Amino acid sequence: MPSELALVVLAAGKGTRLKSRRAKVLHQAGGLPLLAHVLRALKPLRSAGAWVVVGHQAEEVRGLAESLGARAVLQRPQLGTGHAVATAFKALPRRVTRVLVLPGDAPLIRTEALRALLRTHANAGAAATLLTAELDDPSGYGRIVRGSSTLVDAIVEQAALQPDQLGLREVNASIYCFERAAVAPLLGRLGRKNVHREYYLTDVISLLRRDGHAVAAYKVSSPEEVLGVNTLAELARVDAIFRRRKAEALMASGVTLYQPETQAIDPDVSIGPDTIVEAGVELRGRTRIGRRCHIGAHSILLNARLADGVTVRSHSLVLNSRLGPSVSVGPFAHLRDGADIRKGARIGNYVEVKKSVVGEGTKAQHLTYLGDTTVGRGTNIGAGTITCNYDGVNKNPTRIGDNVFIGSGTELVAPVKVGSGAYVAAGSTVTDNVPAGALALARGRQVTKPGWARTRRQKLAAAKARKEEPRVAVRTGNSPKAKPAAKLERKAKPRRKTKSARPKRRPR
């Protein structure tokens, strides 16, 4: 009968050393929760399924596990790694004969290493096979005590190391392949005589040896794969390794990255060749970027879709939005909630686009807000145009046709439509639909008074001269006590009611 493999991930612990209220396996590194990385590495393995031992924040961890196709087993209370495995064993179907156990807090492990461990185990015919690594700094990890070159005698936790064991650098990754029949009876025999008063899974190894079973080991060639996360400093270190791995894969596929150590690119991001990504860029979620794109420094893209030849200038945000071929956005643009920018369109600096379609070749180059708006092709949206889409209760749509000219400083009070080919004069507040081909002019007429400014200045100067004659004490120049002429004038003179254009005095 072929052996049937079950996968067990230990994820019930609190992660006390993280000093966080959130369960450790929910903390993120490399763009995903730690547990998600482990389950991803397990996915390609043929097995009877994955079981995640949950306990601390059980519901959240269960939710994540189940969303990734695993089952959850509740361990309550959490009495140590040995107790966690005993709990999982009870939940496994009878047909399972072999169990691969992994910690939920060591997210860098790769499928290849796990396959090699399973092969070593099968070839050795051992009751248990451990995954180990040689670390320059093994502190914090259980150490491997070898009986011979191939067999393991025991795992000794850091706190229990004897003086002659301090030099051991081979560590226990907490990844084990167990023969269920040999290990299950021993789980009930574990004691709690250790500093944490916990049931240690590591003690199973010496119990197996005592019963005459063979325990083999597979040592990984890249030790970073076994790194666990017990502190926030280790979380940052693991995150950096994920970032480096992703950057190396992208560069190998023809993507140019400037200062990749300053970038954060999530594992599911794809980028076409000949694209350049500048420093400090974050590419999050399921962002997909085509070929020959250029992503400017410090831009953030989340679940963005970019066709080929797109330019995103520096400091732009593109969130859950789509950019067609040869589109250009930014610098300092903010596209969000389903902005759909079609081929060749240009979205310039300080422009925000929310839930809007911007048609082919259309331009909105400066200081604009387009919300709940559909704009056709070849339209020009002048600087400072604002769609007033929110009336305090509802969001209302704005529709702008093809080849429209919207003058600068226009407010479009939605719901409103501007037909194709229409012109809207600069500074208009458009409240009514504008038919195709029309001109809409919706602003106050200008009043011009020739010579008014000069007359006013002369009056002010004369008044100031009158005030200054008797009072010599007032200082002038850059002295902080000097007072502006207009202020002096107002202070001295009782206020008259006139029709003059003098600005109102500010309240104090």
Please give the residue whose beta carbon sits closest to Ca ion in the complex.
228
Q: What is the DSSP letter of 495?
A: P
Nearer to ligand UD1, 12 or 247 (CB): 12
271 binds ligand UD1 (CB under 6 A): no
Place of tokens 């807090």: 105
What gap in Å lies between CA 430 and CA 210, rounded to an integer? Answer: 87
Contact letters for Ca ion, residues 99-128 (x by CB under 5 A): ------x-----------------------
Chosen from Ca ion, ligand UD1, none, partner binding at 320 (C-beta under 5 to 8 Å by type): none
Specify the residue for token string 């000794």: 156
Q: Quick one: 106 or 257, whose CB is closer to Ca ion?
A: 106
DSSP secondary structure letter of residue 115: H
Distances (CA, A) of 300 to 30, 289, 314: 16, 13, 9
Query: For residues 313 and 415, what is the distance between their CA atoms, to the nearest angstrom?
Result: 32
Question: Residues in contact with ligand UD1, total (CB under 6 A)?
Answer: 30
- Of 202 and 321, which has the nearer Cβ to Ca ion? 202
Sheet order of strands, 282-284 included: 264-265, 282-284, 300-302, 317-319, 334-336, 352-354, 369-371, 386-388, 411-413, 429-430
Q: Which residue's structure tokens are 């009158």?
A: 466
How many binding residues for Ca ion (CB under 5 A)? 3
Near Ca ion by CB under 5 A, which window of 220-228, 278-286, 361-369, 450-458? 220-228
Task: Tell me which of 29, 36, 42, 53 binds ligand UD1, using CB under 6 A.
Answer: 53
Determine the 3-state secondary structure of 270 from DSSP: strand
Across 126-254, the runs of DSSP E, i.e. the strands, are 128-134, 143-146, 152-156, 170-179, 215-219
Chain positions 75 to 114 lying near ligand UD1, rule: CB under 6 A, are 75, 78-81, 83-84, 103-106
Q: Which stretch binds ligand UD1 (CB under 6 A): 41-49, 71-79, 291-299, 379-387?
A: 71-79
CB of 228 to Ca ion, least distance (A): 4
CA distance 179 to 184: 8
- Other beta carbons within 10 angstroms of residue 259's beta carbon come to 13
For Ca ion, the binding residue among 30, 228, 361, 371 (CB under 5 A) is 228
Give, in order, the Cα–Cα distances in Å from 438 to each of 373, 420, 425. 20, 9, 11
HSE-up of residue 102 (Cα within 13 Å, Cβ side): 33
Q: How large is the C-alpha radius of gyration of the chain? A: 35
Q: Which stretch binds ligand UD1 (CB under 6 A): 64-72, 115-123, 181-189, 199-207?
A: 199-207
Does 228 engage in binding with ligand UD1 (CB under 6 A)?
yes
Is residue 144 within the footprint of ligand UD1 (CB under 6 A)? no
172 sits near ligand UD1 (criterion: CB under 6 A): yes
39 binds ligand UD1 (CB under 6 A): no
11 in contact with ligand UD1 (CB under 6 A): yes
User: Which residues form the catalytic set?
Assistant: 366
Dig out the tokens for 496 from the structure. Answer: 């008259």
Among 120, 132, 230, 328, binds ligand UD1 (CB under 6 A): 230
Q: Rule CB under 6 A: which residues touch ligand UD1?
A: 10-13, 53, 55, 75, 78-81, 83-84, 103-106, 141-142, 155, 157, 171-174, 200-202, 228, 230
Q: Which residues bind Ca ion (CB under 5 A)?
A: 105, 228, 230
